[in-house]
Structure 1
Amino acid sequence: MKCSAQTSINADLPSPIIESGNFADPADGTLYASVLESPLAVSIPIWPNPAPAGCKDVVTLEWAEVTGSGVGAYVELAQMTFNGPVENFPDTVLYIPVAEALEEDGRYQLRYRIDTYIDTELESAYISIVCDSAPPYKYKVPSSFHLPAKQITIPFFEANDDVFVCVIPDYPDCQRGDVIAYFWRTATRTVEIGRIPVPDDRKVIYTRAQIEAAGNGEFYAEYRLYDKAGNQSQISSSEPINVSMAPRKLTAVKVSSAVGSSSFGSLKIDLVVDGVTINVPADADVYDGEIIRIQWASPQAFNSITIDEPDPSSPLVYKVPMRNVAAHMVSSLADGASFIPVYYEILDGRSLEVLATSSVYGLALTDILATNYPTVQCSHVSGNILSLSSVPVSGTEVSIGVWPFMADDQYINFKLVGLGQDGKNLEVVFFEHKVTAEEVADKKVNATVAKADIEKFKVGVNLYFEGEVTFNNKGYWYKFRPLRANLTN
């Protein structure tokens, strides 16, 4: 789409055209500051009766500055000569050397003039453009915020509706469309808190949640201004603000049935029958309107979970679902880890910002007892004997029944283990599979092992049907109880 600003009325030709993407504000013709750094393309529509063969038309692009006292003299910007004939002529593009031509920021009327081959001068309607290359405050450092206080305490917030309101000092080149980005800085770190249009009252609000999240110490409230053309000021000056607020008391959670200390415990996973119950201490400093969010295991861990809905029994009791438990048994943890972290965060009820984090409770989940896993089954094994003659060419069914914490985000495999025909140890994996929701509902997984795979093993000795399951996306495999069968002809 092409866009032009206001045009004059008594003109012979349509106005020149500047692509709409060059305008920061098409309504008043303000160009982006970045556009002024290189030649600006201007399209000239084909004019009536262009020059025939042997003749020429001359197109001149020009502008005039508009000031409080009126429109100044037009100044030539670019010129192009067209030798006839010109048939089916497309739009002509001329380029304004803005960086060289612009002596002063301001509003300009841009038009073009055609000196035709019959010595007639045609003038176009104009478009109004605004060139603005200077940042707010020009090139000076903006003055520091007007601060409501230079020390922030809990009583300050209680007396001021939990907000710290700073005021942008008045500045001479303030204009509608200016934007402010405001920051909260320490000696080593700067955090952008927000970016908003400069308010009419020039007030900028830091919330208690934002300030509390940064902790205690010496801080600086700073800002940067942007005008609608895209120019940006320097970072403002600032004054030190001392934040001294008593820390919240957020002691570690308790895990039902776990044994240990206040910060570490061990839980026998065989005691988990309906998820793991997490208890937030009754003396935790949580205020009205805030949200408690439980973090179960490291956020990057497979099957970790955050829980912000308490159990119906109590607002301080949270339940970890069964499907999020088994992935965190001790053998499944990353190398060197012996427990998972369990903690809670306090969130602002409106913005959902994290205001504070509790101490961490380290929980070690024991592995499922080997005797609690089911045994692999084979439909053609009878009395621990597998007769090859009874197995059809298509193979035999191998299956496993329900195991603890069975879910559809787990993988299993089946394999044959024994002595090969050459008398050497042989292992044949014939099935690897992601458990489906239907199999969970059926409490069983079926597979088929081909007769040809069984025939790879030596007759007259034991053959083992083995299986494994992984609860943490193939990070660690737990063994099902194997089925032993003597292989016969």
Structure 2
Amino acid sequence: MCTSNPRSLITRKKNNPRALNAPIVPLADPADGLLTLEDLQNSIIATLVVWDDALPGDEYQLLWDGKAEGKIKEIAIDETPGASIFLEIPEFLLVNDGRFEVAYRATNAAGGLTNDSDPTYIIVDKTAPGGGLLAGLIFPSVVDDGVLTSAELSGLGDVISTEVPGYTGIAWGDYIQTFWGEKPGPTHTVVEDEVTMDEVMIDFDRAFLESVGDVAEPVYYIVTDRAGNVSIKSQTKTFSLFLTPAPTDFPAPLCPQAEDGVVDDADARAIVAVSVPQYPDPQAGDKVTLYWGDSALPEAELKPGDETQNPIFDINVRYSTIALSRDGEVALRYEVWRSNFLIGSSTELMVNVNLELPGPVDPDPETPENENLDLPIIRGTSSSANNDDNVIDEEDFLLEAKAIIGWKNDFTISDQIHLYWGSQPIPVTFQIETIDLDKDITLTIPNSV
């Protein structure tokens, strides 16, 4: 039986050791050796194979950036050339970010000769992209005013193309998630060319924007890199969307003075109040424009607290506006504007207007009197030669008096003239007949009056 040392049968070449294959770190990304945050929750193992001339007792140890680290391990009796063996990378070596060289050193137990393997590389990345600042998305200039309308979106080809400004640590594989308010928006994965050009574009199409609804919400994005690091929120930009056609079915206005069937001269002189009922989602700052026929009244703004009232408020319509629409049926409606954009309009309320009065047209209907009606002239009926107009003296006191009403071409047959004398409750009445046309009218005022 041979008892000689088996190593005496092996001749080692001291000056030209066989190259050792690089180890493999299975959890590392084959593309560049990246270890994710999830990977780093596990033990990081470097696997290697027993080299061709290895014998039991030969040693191997981890090389980290060329420096021996960790435990020294020995080839076991059952670990023959080609068998898989491994080295664990100590946790303290994986604390810092960086790109690291991983290799191993083989040592001949008999002669103490060493041979270092080819290296492999791993990347440790625990830093969130962007650092402490992510600039907001860059939007087309058409939305610089913070508003996007349907017409503006159509002019952009129904797509808003935004630019993600270059940020610290941008790298291929970064996953960008956008948000419009709390609604997740389009996503994008950065490619190598975009890193080189430092330009990343993300599109918001009409279908997505319409799904958000007509709201004013902040827009931002978050970046998650390949290692799993999540950035802070980017700076936000808030836009008001007005993409949905404004509804035309807001509740119709109310006009209490028309509930008797007509808005007449007396109603108009008293100023007609039109009530704006509570419409969907009223907000302080909304501006309401009431239309009386084709005439738009000055806009009325909702003040804080108005939005909780029903009706919200009354809008007073002056006589001159009512008169512009002429007599007959008139449509009343209102529009609601928010941030200078129409958000809805009401259905119509039809009211009947009849301002026509006998006699000449009042040139200033907002005053109590009709300036086109002459003042009456009062004359006594005594035989005194000194009778003065509008004077009743002692000689006239027990007699009737006369009132002279100047003729107006707007008078017509059957018109009635009512003359009121002081506080007397019953007027003196005169009805125009054919014989009275085209001449001043004389009324007799009884002495009892």
Which TM-score applies when normalising by structure 1?
0.42
The structure with more strand, counted as a fraction of residues: 1
Please, what TM-score do these two structures have when normalized by structure 2?
A: 0.45
Larger Rg: 2
